[in-house]
Amino acid sequence: MNSEFEKFIQENRKAFENREPDPAVLERITEQMRGMKKKPGILIPLQTLRWAAACLVLIACGATFWIMQKGPAEKTKETAGVIKPAVKTPVAEPTQPANREETVANPVTVQKDPVLRRKPQNSNTAPEESSLDKQALFAKLNDMASPSKRLSAASEASSLIDRDIIDALVKTMNTDPNTNVRLAALESLSRFHRESYVRKQLVAALEKQKDPVVQIELIQLLTRMKETSILKQLDKITQDDNAIKAVKDNAYSGIFTLRS
């Protein structure tokens, strides 16, 4: 096969050598071959690349740090522009009393026990009118024919309270034949239980009192007053054979409360 091909080439060599390619085709092939030639590249030393990379890293770190520092500063400025400064309210200086002796002369007494409260007296009442009212009150308290008048007088006595009226109420509480009148007198006295004189009269009345109903009310009142001086009298009541069961029960309750 090869020998025949070679023989054909040798016989027709002249025909092959005489034929030339088209100049236009040859020119295009030449241009393509020129474009395929490699262009010379730029060589950069490795050390230069390392320095360039280090510079880029430093620049990036510096830019990041600057942005982080600038952000909080701008926020602080914005916040400072919004928050308004607090306005100080002037405080008035306390005024000194003109006369210190007058301030101390009339101290205010604070009532701690809310069980009983004192009624205020009418400061506009003239002395003559007050004296007439007292006389009328005493007349009602001594009117043995009318228990209703004595009851009304005992209830109204707290509005004109003084030493004479207190003594009259104590006498009514201990000796009046009507239980309701005695209870009314005790109620009026209880409104002034903080007065030392009234307190003493109530304690003394417990030993003298014989009315069981008044005894019970008096024991309960003195127990609320935390009057421990009545413990001996309460012991006597619990041992008294003539005392009724209700009175003894209240006496036992009072002893337990005062000793607890």
Instruction: Enumerate the domain spans of the chain.
Output: 127-192, 211-260
CA distances from 171 to 103, 143, 230 (A): 39, 14, 20
- Average predicted confidence (pLDDT) for the chain: 75
Report which secondary-structure segment, H or E, holds 15: helix 13-18
The CATH classification of domain 127-192, taken from the options 1.25.10, 3.30.70, 1.10.150, 1.25.40: 1.25.10
Phi-psi region of 185 (alpha: psi -120 to 50; beta: other; left: phi over 0): alpha
Lowest mean pLDDT of 1-15, 73-87, 129-143, name the range: 73-87
Give the contacts of 253 (CB within 8 A, at least 6 positions apart): 223
Check residue 105 and give its pLDDT: 37
Check residue 205 and give its pLDDT: 94
pTM comes to 0.50
Give the contacts of 121 (CB within 8 A, at least 6 positions apart): 159, 160, 161
